[in-house]
Amino acid sequence: MTPQTLTPAVARRNSTAKNRVALVRPKKPLRWITTAAVSAAVVGLHAVAIEGTDFKPELLVDGWKGMAAFIGDAFPPDLSWEKTLKPGLEATLVTLWIGLLGTTLSVPFALLLAALAAENTSPHRLVYQGARAVLSFFRAVPDIVFALIFVTAVGLGPFAGVLALICHNTGVMGKLWAESMEEIDAGPQEALRTAGANRIQQVANATLPMVVPQFVGLLLYRFDVNVRSSLVLGLVGAGGIGLLINQSIKSFQFDSMLTHILIVLVLIIVVDQFSAWIRRRLAA
């Protein structure tokens, strides 16, 4: 915006105007004290956090040689088909399948719990509180802990990873879905209630069809997150490319490790582009 020039007409109007409204900003005397207190608190918290995490940049500067040697060992990446690329690609597919099943198989559980844990669709206050508690539990336990538990039941391998993701994802997606149902316009549901529809009919014919776009968007976002989580699950023995990365580090084959990481990079980009594409089509 260009600064307004004072035209003669405006100047005349200003000078002749009687009874002008006086410009007095309301005083807020405690404002600067609040600002200072908040700033001091933030700085203080950071000081404590730096102390608590042994955050010492000089260590990083001194030790750069070790890091350079490690990265130097990784170059060039090992591109031999039989030894690295083929097992890497196969394991990546397994990682993708773990993420896919972990997402889709949690849908029925997440849907049921979301409907019970949203204020506008839950049948009773107690059910609402109960469903919230169940969702909180599944969300609070990290997927890696679920994986360790399931490994003791079904042994090492991708199946344990799928089970772990189903549990954790039910908690997260159920919560996200419940929130998007609570934000939806309540009008259509009220219209069906006045027409004599029962609770289940109201949810099935007004609430759920209203939230489908948000639900699918969140589902794709969780698929994206779950594929990346299944990498980490591989590190604790739940199969997939994570397992290969772990093995190549333990056997000092850093060039293979780099190849696997590059494959993962491609996988993440592909999954990200895919879900962005679907979400664009939904929005249109």
Partner 1 sequence: MPLSVQGLRKSFSGRTVLQGVDFSVAAGELVAFLGANGSGKSTTLRCVMGITEPDAGSISIDGAALDSLQGRELQQMRQRMAMIFQKIHLVPRRTALDNVCAGALARIPTVRSLSPLLFPADVQQEALDCLDRVGLADRAFDRVGRLSGGQQQRVAVARALCQRADVVLADEPVSALDPHAAEQVMALLRELAHSEGLAVAAVLHQPDLALRYADRSIGLLQGSMTFDLPSTAVTAEHLDTLYAPDRNIAA
**Contact residues for partner 1 (CB under 8 A)?**
187-188, 190-192, 194-198, 200-201, 204-206, 209-210, 212-213
Q: Which is nearer to partner 1, 108 or 209 (CB)?
A: 209
CB of residue 110 vs partner 1: minimum separation in angstroms? 18
DSSP state of 156: S
Q: Which is nearer to partner 1, 60 or 212 (CB)?
A: 212
CB of residue 103 vs partner 1: minimum separation in angstroms? 23
Q: Which is nearer to partner 1, 90 or 190 (CB)?
A: 190
Q: Which is nearer to partner 1, 83 or 199 (CB)?
A: 199
CB of residue 204 vs partner 1: minimum separation in angstroms? 5
Question: Is the backbone of residue 252 left (phi > 0), alpha (psi -120 to 50) or beta?
Answer: left
Distances (CA, A) of 105 to 42, 162, 268: 43, 9, 21
Residue pair 76/259 in contact by the 8 Å Cβ criterion: no
Distances (CA, A) of 2 to 5, 11, 13, 145: 9, 18, 22, 59
Residue 214: CB atoms within 10 Å: 17
Q: Which is nearer to partner 1, 100 or 216 (CB)?
A: 216
CB of residue 209 vs partner 1: minimum separation in angstroms? 5
Residue 253: CB atoms within 10 Å: 19
Q: Which two tokens stand for residue 273?
A: 């582009």
CB of residue 179 vs partner 1: minimum separation in angstroms? 19
